A and B are shown apart, each in its own frame.
Chain A
Amino acid sequence: MIAPVTLFIIVMLYVLLLFGVAYFAEVREASGRSLVNNPYVYSLSLAVYCTSWTFYGSVGRAATSGLMFLPIYLGPTIMLALWPVVLKKVVKIAKANRITTISDFISFRYGKSLALSVLVTVVAVIGITPYLGLQIKAILSTIIIFTGKGELASNAGVAVTILLGLFIIMFGIRRLDLSERHGGIVFAIALESLVKLVAFLLVGIFVTWHLFDGLGDILSRTKISGNSYLMNLLGTSVTTSYSEWFAMTFLSMLAIVFLPRQFHMAVVENNDESHIDKAAWLFPLYLLLINIFVLPIAFGGLLLTQGGQNPDYFVLTLPLDHGSGSLAIFAFIGGFSAATGMLIVEVLAISTMVMNSIVMPVIYKFHGVRGFSTIVLNIKRLVVIVIVFLGYLFSITVGAYESLAALGLKSFEAVALFAPPLIIGLYWKRCNKYGAFAGLCAGFLIWLYASFVPPLINVGVIDKDSFIGIMAASHFFNPTALFGVWGMGKTLHTIFWSMLAELIFFFGVSLATRQSKEEEMQSLLFVESYEVAPVSGHSVSYVIEDIENILGRYMGADEVQKVIEGFLGRKNKDRSELFSSDLIELRTEAEKMLAGSIGPSLSSIVFEDRFVLTEADKVEIAESIERVTESLRLSRQELSDANQELERSNRELQQFAYVASHDLQEPLRKVVAFGDRLKTNYADVLDERGVDYLERMQNAALRMRHLIEALLAYSRVSTTAGTMAEVSLAEVVHLVLSDLDHTINECGAEVVVGELPQIKADRLQIGQLLQNLISNAIKYRKPDGQVKVAVSSFQQPGSSFVEIQVKDNGIGFDEKYLDRIFAPFQRLHSRQEYSGTGIGLAICKKIVERHGGTITARSAPDEGALFLVTLPLWR
């Protein structure tokens, strides 16, 4: 046992450390050297998912139900595979519109519906309170275990509750602009995640290798003990409850997104969308690590205590009972971290929901806007304290009768109800607020009935002879087997019926009712990521000062000034120079800004109250939405049709070029041949002018033949293309150089070939590409001096592309002609200066594009040229 004072000092020191760490992180952030803007801290902060339920409850669950503790961690692991797709979309929308809670997000999707926002908040508060109670219960239980004095628990509980409330107030709600991220809290939570992981691993190592001789020893002693209960835990429990296994996996898949604290950490506190990609595998790795020693601790504990202790607290009692007090204290700190981390973030998220959805709309209705910012801040502080104490009350009343895992699962079931309106709302435009509201109500009522009626009847809160009691005793409305369907596990039963009801109402009511114009606009934003532009063209009835005044009532004067100055700076205008369209834009921006402080629903109400839209504006908005919806539908179809048409005409054009150039060759050959005969046989009967005409005609025919051959070569790139295979560039260059051997020797050129990789290419075409580039380098040489050509390659680490460089010391060209040199039959020099048709580089470009690469050049007159070709590597 440890003296209560010692334990109190330890707790105080740890809380002070958290305060210090949070303060340090905020100072660093303010100085522009953020500690939290990296994927590792982001991933660790997501581990707020692992609460005391994980730290203590997993071992308890493993000791009573074997592997059934695992689905709670496997679900998030599976779900995180979808995060880079789904969560990025949520983060994008939330950031763009300064959304700070899950209730605001859902309400924002459904036309900023305040009623829906209130309902989501009520579900969250009722659903999460058991979970808050779970954390406080764990802290109180561990204090009793350590001190052996149960009477201390209530005082300690109150003290811990106040301390946590203060921490949240200090670092969570100092200002009203809630869309500001809380770097201090995030860093403190990340530290807590690290502490609980290390503590759990150390206890696992202690049990496995200090109390036993490793994993094999625990397993063999389990077998030797002949305890069939223990043996059963190692496997058959899974086979007997696959439905529960699946239900819990499914629930936890949803919980990792929809628990208010997870939404807060993953969406609101996200600094950079790219962090999501790394967190998608780092966080599951954390979950794996924190679960590695659950079974050894559970089995070790059962073997050593022979079932004489509560397995929920083996993590603490095993080190304590086996002479490792310091490890036990560290484990206590780990458990304390797990509980407090969850409490801090969850209370912060829920208090924001309560404020935005319930308190502020009420204040706005009854109190107007006088002294709003001060009132709101103080009320929010009060709300934080109330919510923390609500959790405390639950822990010492109902929570006393339930296990840690059972309490946690109730919360998971409740937040799973947010999935249909949010996820379906991201991908289905037709769903509306009536459907979302009806669905959520139906699901919530069933969840409430199935989850709380049985325990409340058991503890006597609901009388068995009351209406609900009689209903619960009936065959049809039995809360553990609704509609007379037996055989489902407890978790599956609740989630199946509540979600089924929710989905039926959600789809049914959505299909039976119409969306408002506001909803249509929001559905475009969510589903199509298309924001309908504010109306323009009309004069507006407000001025910049009106917007300033409204913001000033809810935010500090300095912050309002920053917003206005920022807007004017971006527009590069003075206050007096703003047009109506600018004011409309500023109003939209201000509404979003205010949404970060008071939620989108109320923000919308506040601005609509002050700036009532004219009938003309409303008609224009409606027409604008209809136009956008229709054009989006049409544009997709048109785009597809146009694409097909383009592909068809491109094929026809290539075919035409090939056929035309091929068929033109024959008559041209005859023109040249008969011209030759004319010149040979009839030159003496022609006068000088006639011979001149004949020679000109022959030269023109020859030029035309070259052009046709060039055109044929150009069209062959696509019409007679070979297959892509592994090609050694070094070999190809070697062959090209041997083909050009005569030309190289003739002008004494020096060709240096560097290291070249294997690429994925059409061997013949790559040969043609390199031949064109090297022969060009030789052709466009300076009249004096030795020709030097270098062929080399460059590859960026990790890239799947290689850059091939062909450099020469020739005459070069002005880069302003860069586009021209790659166009067919375009030349920078006359035929007298340099022979050719101007098709070579056009062929190069076509070959490179066919390979999915790029070609460009760097050059200056008389400075030589560097051609850069990017091609995919062979992998």
Chain B
Amino acid sequence: MTERCLFVFFIGLLVFNWPLLDIFQGEIVAYIYGVWLLFIATLAIALHRSNRSVKADGAVSGDSRP
């Protein structure tokens, strides 16, 4: 989970700052709101997958039944 969270965090820093904002200067409003929504979705998926694999790891290392 730590690696995934760090990855999403750094992606956030990148996409919401210069120079990417400069690249999309022409459509800056659409870019920011679109990427914002995308970022939230990515974060939700990353956390969901991390939690799922944590649970699965628990199943593998714990009792025999998943």
Do the two chains bind? yes
**Would you call A67 and B43 a contact (CB within 8 A)?**
no
In chain A, positions 846-875 with a C-beta closer than 8 Å to chain B are: 852-856, 868, 870
**Would you call B56 and A82 a contact (CB within 8 A)?**
no
**Would you call B37 and A288 a contact (CB within 8 A)?**
yes
* CB closest chain-A residue, reference B21: A238
**Would you call A855 and B64 a contact (CB within 8 A)?**
yes
**Would you call A84 and B52 a contact (CB within 8 A)?**
no
In chain B, positions 35-66 with a C-beta closer than 8 Å to chain A are: 36-37, 39-41, 43-44, 47, 50-53, 55-56, 59-60, 64-66
Q: Would you give the 0/1 interface string for A239-268, flagging 1 where the beta carbon is closer than 8 Å to chain B?
A: 100100110010000000000000000000
Please name all residues of chain B whose beta carbon is closer than 8 Å to the beta carbon of A245 when the two chains form the complex: 17-18, 21
B interface, how many residues as a size bin? 35 or more
Number of A-B contacts (CB under 8 A): 115
Please name all residues of chain B whose beta carbon is closer than 8 Å to the beta carbon of A799 when the two chains form the complex: 52, 55-56, 59, 66
Docked CA distance A391–B66 (Å): 55
Docked CA distance A284–B56 (Å): 27
Shortest CB distance A396–B (Å): 37
**Would you call A235 and B60 a contact (CB within 8 A)?**
no
**Knowing A81-B8, A235-B28, A856-B64 touch, does A280 contact B17 (C-beta < 8 A)?**
no
Shortest CB distance A71–B (Å): 8
**Would you call A74 and B47 a contact (CB within 8 A)?**
no
B53: contacting residue among A67, A70, A249, A800, CB under 8 A: A800
B16: contacting residue among A74, A235, A853, CB under 8 A: A74
Q: Which of A78, A285, A801 is packed against the most chain B CB atoms within 10 Å?
A: A78
In chain A, positions 271-326 with a C-beta closer than 8 Å to chain B are: 277-278, 280-281, 284-285, 288, 292, 295
Please name all residues of chain B whose beta carbon is closer than 8 Å to the beta carbon of A81 when the two chains form the complex: 5-6, 8-9, 12, 43
Q: Would you give the 0/1 interface string for A796-807, flagging 1 where the beta carbon is closer than 8 Å to chain B?
A: 101111010000
A246: contacting residue among B2, B17, B40, CB under 8 A: B17
**Knowing A82-B9, A238-B28, A277-B47 touch, does A853 contact B52 (C-beta < 8 A)?**
no
In chain B, positions 15-39 with a C-beta closer than 8 Å to chain A are: 16-18, 21-22, 25-26, 28-29, 32-33, 36-37, 39
Docked CA distance A801–B22 (Å): 45
* CB closest chain-A residue, reference B36: A288
**Knowing A82-B6, A246-B17, A868-B64 touch, does A284 contact B40 (C-beta < 8 A)?**
yes
Please name all residues of chain A whose beta carbon is closer than 8 Å to the beta carbon of B17 when the two chains form the complex: 242, 245-246, 249
Please name all residues of chain B whose beta carbon is closer than 8 Å to the beta carbon of A236 when the two chains form the complex: 25
Total count of chain A residues near the partner, CB < 8 A = 43
**Would you call B60 and A852 a contact (CB within 8 A)?**
yes
Shortest CB distance B55–A (Å): 8
Does any Cβ of B come within 8 Å of A358's Cβ? no
* CB closest chain-A residue, reference B2: A85
**Would you call A78 and B66 a contact (CB within 8 A)?**
no
Does any Cβ of B come within 8 Å of A77's Cβ? yes
Docked CA distance A85–B55 (Å): 17
Docked CA distance A297–B51 (Å): 39
Please name all residues of chain B whose beta carbon is closer than 8 Å to the beta carbon of A67 when the two chains form the complex: 28-29, 32
Shortest CB distance B33–A (Å): 7
Please name all residues of chain B whose beta carbon is closer than 8 Å to the beta carbon of A870 when the two chains form the complex: 59-60, 64-66
Does any Cβ of B come within 8 Å of A80's Cβ? yes
In chain A, positions 65-90 with a C-beta closer than 8 Å to chain B are: 67, 70-71, 74, 77-82, 84-85
Does any Cβ of B come within 8 Å of A234's Cβ? yes
**Would you call A77 and B39 a contact (CB within 8 A)?**
yes
* CB closest chain-B residue, reference A78: B12
Docked CA distance A854–B40 (Å): 35
Shortest CB distance B9–A (Å): 4
**Would you call A77 and B12 a contact (CB within 8 A)?**
yes
Q: Could you tell me the dominant secondary structure of chain B's interface residues?
A: helix
* CB closest chain-B residue, reference A285: B40
Please name all residues of chain B whose beta carbon is closer than 8 Å to the beta carbon of A855 when the two chains form the complex: 64
Docked CA distance A79–B43 (Å): 11
**Would you call B47 and A281 a contact (CB within 8 A)?**
yes
Docked CA distance A854–B58 (Å): 11
**Would you call A74 and B18 a contact (CB within 8 A)?**
no
Docked CA distance A847–B1 (Å): 28
Docked CA distance A280–B17 (Å): 20
Please name all residues of chain A whose beta carbon is closer than 8 Å to the beta carbon of B5 when the two chains form the complex: 81-82, 84-85
Docked CA distance A856–B55 (Å): 19
Shortest CB distance B19–A (Å): 9
Docked CA distance A278–B22 (Å): 32
Q: Which of B9, B41, B52 is packed against the most chain A CB atoms within 10 Å?
A: B9
* CB closest chain-A residue, reference B57: A852
**Would you call A854 and B56 a contact (CB within 8 A)?**
no
**Would you call B47 and A84 a contact (CB within 8 A)?**
yes
**Would you call A288 and B51 a contact (CB within 8 A)?**
no
**Would you call A77 and B47 a contact (CB within 8 A)?**
no
Docked CA distance A854–B43 (Å): 31
Please name all residues of chain A whose beta carbon is closer than 8 Å to the beta carbon of B51 when the two chains form the complex: 277
Please name all residues of chain A whose beta carbon is closer than 8 Å to the beta carbon of B60 when the two chains form the complex: 801, 852-854, 870
Please name all residues of chain A whose beta carbon is closer than 8 Å to the beta carbon of B50 when the two chains form the complex: 84
**Would you call B64 and A284 a contact (CB within 8 A)?**
no
Docked CA distance A421–B5 (Å): 22
Docked CA distance A238–B13 (Å): 16
A242: contacting residue among B18, B28, B41, CB under 8 A: B18
**Would you call A84 and B53 a contact (CB within 8 A)?**
no
Please name all residues of chain B whose beta carbon is closer than 8 Å to the beta carbon of A234 when the two chains form the complex: 28-29
In chain A, positions 45-102 with a C-beta closer than 8 Å to chain B are: 67, 70-71, 74, 77-82, 84-85
Docked CA distance A295–B30 (Å): 12
Shortest CB distance B3–A (Å): 10
**Would you call A78 and B13 a contact (CB within 8 A)?**
yes
Shortest CB distance B35–A (Å): 10
In chain A, positions 795-827 with a C-beta closer than 8 Å to chain B are: 796, 798-801, 803
**Would you call A84 and B1 a contact (CB within 8 A)?**
yes
**Knowing A80-B43, A281-B43 touch, does A85 contact B65 (C-beta < 8 A)?**
no
Shortest CB distance B17–A (Å): 6
**Would you call A801 and B56 a contact (CB within 8 A)?**
yes
**Knowing A82-B9, A85-B2, A870-B64 touch, does A70 contact B32 (C-beta < 8 A)?**
yes
Docked CA distance A235–B25 (Å): 7
Docked CA distance A132–B47 (Å): 35
Docked CA distance A571–B41 (Å): 48
Docked CA distance A67–B30 (Å): 12
Please name all residues of chain A whose beta carbon is closer than 8 Å to the beta carbon of B59 when the two chains form the complex: 799, 801, 854, 870
**Would you call A803 and B39 a contact (CB within 8 A)?**
no
**Knowing A82-B6, A285-B40, A799-B56 touch, does A246 contact B18 (C-beta < 8 A)?**
yes
Please name all residues of chain B whose beta carbon is closer than 8 Å to the beta carbon of A295 when the two chains form the complex: 29
Please name all residues of chain B whose beta carbon is closer than 8 Å to the beta carbon of A280 when the two chains form the complex: 43, 47
**Would you call B43 and A284 a contact (CB within 8 A)?**
yes
**Would you call B28 and A249 a contact (CB within 8 A)?**
no
A281: contacting residue among B28, B40, B56, CB under 8 A: B40
Docked CA distance A584–B37 (Å): 53
**Would you call A288 and B33 a contact (CB within 8 A)?**
yes
Shortest CB distance B48–A (Å): 8
**Would you call A78 and B47 a contact (CB within 8 A)?**
no
Please name all residues of chain A whose beta carbon is closer than 8 Å to the beta carbon of B22 when the two chains form the complex: 239, 242
Docked CA distance A70–B36 (Å): 11
Please name all residues of chain B whose beta carbon is closer than 8 Å to the beta carbon of A78 when the two chains form the complex: 9, 12-13, 16, 39
**Knowing A81-B5, A84-B5 touch, does A242 contact B21 (C-beta < 8 A)?**
yes
Q: Which of A79, A277, A799, A852 is packed against the most chain B CB atoms within 10 Å?
A: A277
Q: With A74-B36, A238-B25, A800-B56 given, name 8 new contacts (CB 8 A).
A: A74-B12, A80-B43, A84-B50, A234-B28, A278-B47, A801-B60, A803-B65, A870-B66
A-B contact pairs, 13 of them (CB 8 A): A67-B32, A71-B16, A74-B12, A78-B13, A235-B28, A246-B17, A249-B16, A277-B51, A280-B43, A803-B65, A853-B60, A870-B59, A870-B66
Q: Which 4 A-B pairs have the closest CB atoms?
A: A856-B64, A78-B12, A281-B44, A81-B9
